[in-house]
Amino acid sequence: MVKNSNIDNIDIERMDKEFVWHPFTQMLDWEKEKNTVIEKGEGVYLYDIYGNKYIDGVSSLWVNIHGHNNKDINEAVKNQLAKISHSTLLGLANVPSTILAKKLIEIAPKSLAKVFYSDSGSTSVEIAIKVAFQYFRQKGAKYKNKKKFIAATSAYHGDTIGSVSVGGIGLFHSIYKPLLFETVRIIYPYCYRCPFDLNYPNCDLYCAKEAEKIIAYYSDQAAALVIEPMIQGAAGMITMPDGYMKRIERACKENEILLILDEVATGFGRTGKMFAAEHEDIKPDIMCLAKGITGGYLPMAATLFTEEIYEGFLGNYEDNKTFFHGHTYTGNQLAASAGIMSLELFEKNNLINKIQPLISHFKDRLSEFRNLDAAGNVRSIGLMGGIELVRNKKTKKPFLQKDKIGHKVALKAKEKGVIIRPLGDTIVVMPPLIISYEILDELLGVVYDVIGNIGK
């Protein structure tokens, strides 16, 4: 029940439909379906206004790490709230954003030295792109043609115009094409539907060889290459074969192209390492962080840079080398205090080590999905899992878009007490890192049953 007001549950449901336009949602469907209004959370559970309990199977869109209503994070935010909620980072510093920056640099790949704050994954990528561009404008005549960006097919880097320009998901991005800057594409390895029709490892990473050629060709023209390391999230949890990321890193270094890792989804333990870069010891020039940075409590993002890039912006004020960019809530104290506590909980609970056996268990349980007729491909890294549904397993023929299979699976799962959010026909399972074996099994059990009953 909604307390302390004369608005009842039915009113809330009705008012949502009347006033709220939901993100990534066909509102005609939304208006017809019953909406679920969340009122509170506890650990891995979400509760709606009627008191129904759901397992948060996608960590509230990939952000939640330590569970909901975590007392330590609550306490950290409350303590900060009693001091100050927000003061600007334009011309002033503040305590929590300073401490968080130091902590981020301590855990990030060793190449990174400076933290630029913003408030969403999209802005963190926008900042990376603008800095990379400006860096080469200021670096000298030799670099004057470095204006282009290289990105991967089916990439997702956010929803602002710059991040959409480097994005490559037709469904989301194609309509905006007239507004976007041109981007050079390399093929993201999608082994289940290999664009070269080859098989790993016999292919000898032919896709990497092709990417290397493109990177070398654009050596004089490209400022940076932006990529989601080890796994593409929004494209449908597409995992990279071992060795690909290292080859891309090497090619970027050899051709003086800045490597931007978009770790917005993969950062903060999701892939089983603190950052996905660690899987192949990648040393990026720029790294984008958001989603899990506050443990999933408040909006915040950070773009991390090397000392060398930072120094490229130093000069007399009248030289105009300043990075003239900053979002109003940059470095917000409440968000930063949640971020600090989240990192302290990683340390205190030895969380990265602790989840290793859970990750093996997750992988084992996911592999059982291969028995299901509709499960064409099952992919995972760490606690990020995707099950790609197909109409015909042998031919890999997908379902029709109008069948909305992914959407239907999610609705059925919700009836059975599990919240998931599909990516097209790929069912995503991405629980908070603190989920227990029992609840993880329950979550996967529901998803298994629902997928098993498709078409029945």
Ligand X SMILES: *Cc1c(COP(=O)(O)O)cnc(C)c1O
Least distance from ligand X to the Cβ atom of residue 255, Å: 24
290 binds ligand X (CB under 6 A): yes
Q: Which lies closer to ligand X via its Cβ, residue 228 or residue 388?
A: 228
Least distance from ligand X to the Cβ atom of residue 158, Å: 4
- C-alpha to C-alpha distance for 289 and 261, rounded to whole angstroms: 9
Residue of 70, 94, 120, 303 that binds ligand X (CB under 6 A):
120
For Cα atoms 373, 374, 377, give the angle at the middle one, nearest 5 degrees.
Answer: 100
What is the C-alpha R_g of the chain? 22
- C-alpha to C-alpha distance for 77 and 339, rounded to whole angstroms: 10
285 binds ligand X (CB under 6 A): no
- C-alpha to C-alpha distance for 114 and 106, rounded to whole angstroms: 11
339 binds ligand X (CB under 6 A): no
Cβ-based neighbours of 126, under 8 Å, separated by 6 or more: 118, 158, 160, 162, 163
Q: Which two tokens stand for residue 376?
A: 């064409």
Q: Which lies closer to ligand X via its Cβ, residue 48 or residue 228?
A: 228
Least distance from ligand X to the Cβ atom of residue 174, Å: 18
Cβ-based neighbours of 41, under 8 Å, separated by 6 or more: 47, 56, 60, 67, 68, 69
423 binds ligand X (CB under 6 A): no
- C-alpha to C-alpha distance for 131 and 139, rounded to whole angstroms: 12
Binding mask 380-419 for ligand X (x = CB under 6 A): ----------------------------------------
Q: Which lies closer to ligand X via its Cβ, residue 131 or residue 290?
A: 290
Residue of 60, 118, 122, 303 that binds ligand X (CB under 6 A):
122
With 0-12 / 13-18 / 19 or more C-beta atoms within 10 angstroms meaning exposed / middle / buried, residue 299 is middle
270 binds ligand X (CB under 6 A): no
Longest dimension (CA), the chain: 70
158 binds ligand X (CB under 6 A): yes
Binding mask 354-373 for ligand X (x = CB under 6 A): --------------------
**Site stretch for ligand X (CB under 6 A), options 45-53, 155-163, 267-275, 420-428:** 155-163
Query: How far are the Cα atoms of 16, 47, 97 from residue 5, in angstroms, in the given order?
Result: 16, 19, 36
E strand segments, 348-392: 375-381, 384-389
- C-alpha to C-alpha distance for 426 and 385, rounded to whole angstroms: 10
Cis peptide before 398 (omega within 30 of 0): no
265 binds ligand X (CB under 6 A): yes
Q: Which lies closer to ligand X via its Cβ, residue 294 or residue 306?
A: 294
Contact (CB, 8 A) for 419 and 374: no
Cβ-based neighbours of 428, under 8 Å, separated by 6 or more: 57, 58, 237, 384, 385, 386, 420, 421, 422
Residue nearest to ligand X (CB): 121
Phi-psi region of 243 (alpha: psi -120 to 50; beta: other; left: phi over 0): left
Task: Report how many residues bind ligand X under the rule CB under 6 A.
Answer: 15
Provide, for the chain, the percentages of residues in helix, strand and coil under a 3-state DSSP scheme, each rounded to the nearest 5.
Answer: 40, 15, 40
Residues 294-333 that bind ligand X (CB under 6 A): none
Q: Which two tokens stand for residue 229?
A: 């390391």
Q: Which lies closer to ligand X via its Cβ, residue 56 or residue 262?
A: 262
Q: Which lies closer to ligand X via its Cβ, residue 63 or residue 410?
A: 63
121 binds ligand X (CB under 6 A): yes
- Residue from 359, 381, 385 nearest 447 by CA: 385
Least distance from ligand X to the Cβ atom of residue 241, Å: 19
262 binds ligand X (CB under 6 A): yes
Q: Which lies closer to ligand X via its Cβ, residue 124 or residue 374?
A: 124
228 binds ligand X (CB under 6 A): yes
189 binds ligand X (CB under 6 A): no
**Site stretch for ligand X (CB under 6 A), options 30-38, 151-159, 244-252, 304-312:** 151-159
156 binds ligand X (CB under 6 A): yes
Residue of 112, 187, 227, 264 that binds ligand X (CB under 6 A):
264
Least distance from ligand X to the Cβ atom of residue 267, Å: 9
With 0-12 / 13-18 / 19 or more C-beta atoms within 10 angstroms meaning exposed / middle / buried, residue 231 is buried
**Site stretch for ligand X (CB under 6 A), options 36-44, 196-204, 262-270, 407-415:** 262-270
**Site stretch for ligand X (CB under 6 A), options 131-139, 150-158, 178-186, 371-379:** 150-158
Binding site for ligand X (CB under 6 A): 120-122, 125, 156-158, 228, 233-234, 262, 264-265, 290-291
